[in-house]
Amino acid sequence: MKVLVAQKRVVDPYVKIRVRTDGSGVETTNVKMSINPFDEIAIEEAVRLKEQGLATSTAVVTIGSANVQENLRAALALGIDEALWVSCDKALQPLAVARILHQIALREKPDLIIMGKQAIDDDNNQVGQMLAALLAWPQCTFASQILVKDNQIEVTREIDGGLEILTAELPAVVTTDLRLNTPRYATLPNIMRAKQKPLKTITLEELSVDTHTAFEVLNVSAPKERKAGIKVDSVDDLLDKLRHEAKVIA
C-alpha cells in the first residue's frame, strides 16, 4: 500500500497573527512558518502505517514557493520516504489545490491519501472532500482512529452523539482530527539525512491544472478588541447586571 500525504505551510500556531498595514492579508514576512498541525498528524499516521508493515511506501506533497522545501525536508526527517514539491508562487483556493492533488494522485497512484481536516490559516475544511469527489474515491473525514484491514480501512470519527465508525474500500481519502495521534519529534541524525535527500519538483505547467481564482479578497482586518470581562460576587449581582446593564433579561 502506498500512502500519499498532503501538507501545507502555514504561520506557526504559536505566533501572534498580524494583519498587513494595507489590509491585503496576514503578515508573513520574517514570521515563523511551520507545517499545518493537522497535516503533522497525517504525516505521523503515514509513518506509523509504514512502521506497522501496512504501507510499503510513503510520500508527501506540498504546493508553494521555494520556501516550502524546508517543510518537505521536515516531513522526510519524520520518516516519510519521498517528497514532491509542486512549484507555485501564487495563493490558491481550495478547488485549485484539490485539482492539483488530483493530478498528483493520478501520477503517483497511491492507495491511501491522508491530509489534515483543515489548514489553520483559512479553516476552509474543503480540500479533502473536493479531492475525493474529483477522484471518485470514498472519503472518511475527521479521523480519530485508522485501521487497515486487507483492502479496506476502518475509520473512527468523533461526532456530536459519540463515535461513528466508517468502513471504506481502498483507494480512499482520509482527513485527520487532533486525537488521531501525537506527532513525534525528528531526531538530529534524521534531520541531517533529510537535508541530503532529493526533492521531486513538479510545475503547474506539467500538470495542466486550471488555477483560476473564482473570488477576490478585497480586504483583511483584525477583529475588534473585546472589553475585559468582570467578576461578580454572587448570583444576585449577576442577575442585576444582566437585567439593568446588559438588559438581556426582564
Decide if 249 is inside a domain: no
Q: Check pLDDT > 80 for residue 250.
A: no
Q: Which three cell numbers, joined as nine digits, stand for 25?
A: 492579508
**Residues 91-111: tens digit of each pLDDT:** 888 999 999 999 999 999 999
What is the Cα–Cα distance from 73 to 10, expressed in whole angstroms? Answer: 15
Q: Looking at the domain assignment, is residue 82 inside a domain?
A: yes
- What number of other Cβ atoms are within 10 A of residue 102's Cβ? 18
Residue range 148-186, pLDDT digits in tens: 988 899 999 988 888 999 999 999 999 999 999 999 999
Residue 250, domain member (yes or no): no
State the residue range of the domain holding 53.
Answer: 2-244
Which one of 127-141, 209-223, 225-239 scores highest in mean pLDDT?
127-141
Could you tell me the CATH number of the domain that includes residue 15?
3.40.50.620
Whole-number average pLDDT of the chain:
91
Please tell me the total count of domains within the chain.
Answer: 1
Cα torsion 245, 246, 248, 249: sign: negative
pTM of the entire predicted model: 0.85
Region 200-228: what's the mean pLDDT?
85
As a whole number of angstroms, the distance between CA 5 and CA 112 comes to: 9
Helix or strand holding residue 36 (H, E)? none
Asked if pLDDT for residue 82 goes beyond 80, the answer is yes
Question: How far is residue 43's CA from residue 155's CA, in Å, rounded to a whole number?
Answer: 17
